[in-house]
Amino acid sequence: MNEPLHVWLDADPGFDDYMAWALLEADPRFVVDGVGVVAGNAPLERTLSNALRIKALHGLATPVYAGCDRPLAQAQVTAQDVLGENAMKSVGRTLPAAQAALSPGHAVDALIAHVRAHPQQVVLLAIGPLTNVATAFMRAPELPGLLKCLVLMGGSTDRGNATAVAEFNIAADPEAAQCVFDAGIEVLMFGLNACRQVEVGPEHVALLRHDGGEQALLFADLLQAYTELIPGRQRMAVFDPTPVAWLANPAWFGLEPARVDVELAGRLTRGMTVCEFRVPRRAQANALVAMQADGDAVMDWAMRTLRGFLARRV
């Protein structure tokens, strides 16, 4: 039997962050070594509160650290206009108020110390703005070379969601994103173009409601609100859990090498991930960019895994 994959999660919970974290905790092929929380979907105090409530609700032992509360250079932007004040819209039940204890120290320092202590063993999975990751790379320039790999949910090869061309996690801190793509490590990028091939809808909500149990019903209420974020639709792309699915089974995905740069100056294009696929002829690749995803296989695995996790007794 293969050894489990050790993952350090950097996130800005958010519902889809919650789903991604739950999948990591539920699948025995993963060990979550730590969770660093960053401002993004909402200000840090709210994303951190969500993380600590999730930890308490499920009795998780994973340490949670508070990270950066603002972007490297620009003014803070959030997704609260879409996701709600707490970045966790619901049609009914909400996360219980009880919070687990916060681990001492800053998320950046904790990440640096953990990777240094476990060279070539840790997958860094970043599913929020890249402020914590970029800050860690600037403080410890050797860190990228000590990682097993760096996987992120962010960017797009085509349309955006924060703007016409920019995906939210990148647009929330473009300077941090460029720092990460320049760090000298091959980035595995799961952008909107791939995540939009994985959809969740009413049939998945119905499965959780059929299971019953307080945790499953809570998750169903959150999931239903998530599927209804776009007015007039009842389906939604699955963003942050998509790279988790790749870690579980890379065969479900097709990735292509590219040179990825982040537009920092464009009046209409700031935050855009410019992907040059003509490598090595026109540029040196710095990323593997997800282009295809087997959405049905991903969601079958995700729902099986989640239903088992939500049925556990704490």
Distance from C-alpha of 130 to C-alpha of 93, rounded to nearest angstrom = 30
Distance from C-alpha of 29 to C-alpha of 212, rounded to nearest angstrom = 26
Q: What is the mean pLDDT of residues 129-139?
A: 98
Token code pair at residue 133: 């990751």
Q: What is the mean pLDDT of residues 296-301?
A: 98
Residue with tokens 């924060």: 162
Residue in 104, 47, 117 with CA at minimum distance from that of residue 76: 47
Evaluate whether 111 touches 136 at the Cβ level (below 8 Å).
Answer: yes
Q: pLDDT digit string (tens) for 160-194?
A: 999 999 999 999 999 999 999 999 999 999 999 99
Residue in 8, 10, 3, 290 with CA at minimum distance from that of residue 177: 10
Token code pair at residue 248: 């579980």
Using 50, 70 and 90 to split pLDDT, how confident is the model at 312?
A: confident
Q: What is the mean pLDDT of residues 232-252?
A: 96
Token code pair at residue 83: 């996701």
Q: What is the mean pLDDT of residues 242-246?
A: 98
Q: What distance, in Å, lies between the first and last C-alpha atoms of the chain?
A: 27
pLDDT above 70 coverage of the chain, percent: 99
- Domain limits of the chain? 5-309
Evaluate whether 145 touches 115 at the Cβ level (below 8 Å).
Answer: no
Distance from C-alpha of 14 to C-alpha of 196, rounded to nearest angstrom = 18
Q: pLDDT digit string (tens) for 1-43?
A: 478 999 999 999 999 999 999 999 999 999 999 999 999 999 9
Q: What is the mean pLDDT of residues 36-53?
A: 98
Q: Which CATH class is domain 5-309?
A: alpha beta
Residue with tokens 């206009």: 81
> Using CA of residue 189, residue 193, residue 198, residue 200, what is the dihedral sign?
positive
Question: Alpha helix (H) ranges present in the chain?
Answer: 15-26, 44-58, 80-83, 107-117, 131-139, 143-146, 168-171, 174-181, 192-195, 202-211, 214-227, 241-248, 295-310
DSSP string covering 210-240, please?
A: HH-SHHHHHHHHHHHHHHTSSTT-S-EE--T
Using 50, 70 and 90 to split pLDDT, how confident is the model at 314?
A: low
Residue 34 backbone dihedrals phi, psi, to 5 degrees: -175, 160
Question: Alpha helix (H) ranges present in 69-188?
Answer: 80-83, 107-117, 131-139, 143-146, 168-171, 174-181
Average pLDDT, rounded, for the chain: 97
Given this model, what pLDDT does residue 2 score?
79
Residue with tokens 């070379």: 145
pTM of the model: 0.97
Could you count the other beta carbons within 10 Å of the beta carbon of residue 292? 13
pLDDT above 70 for 121? yes
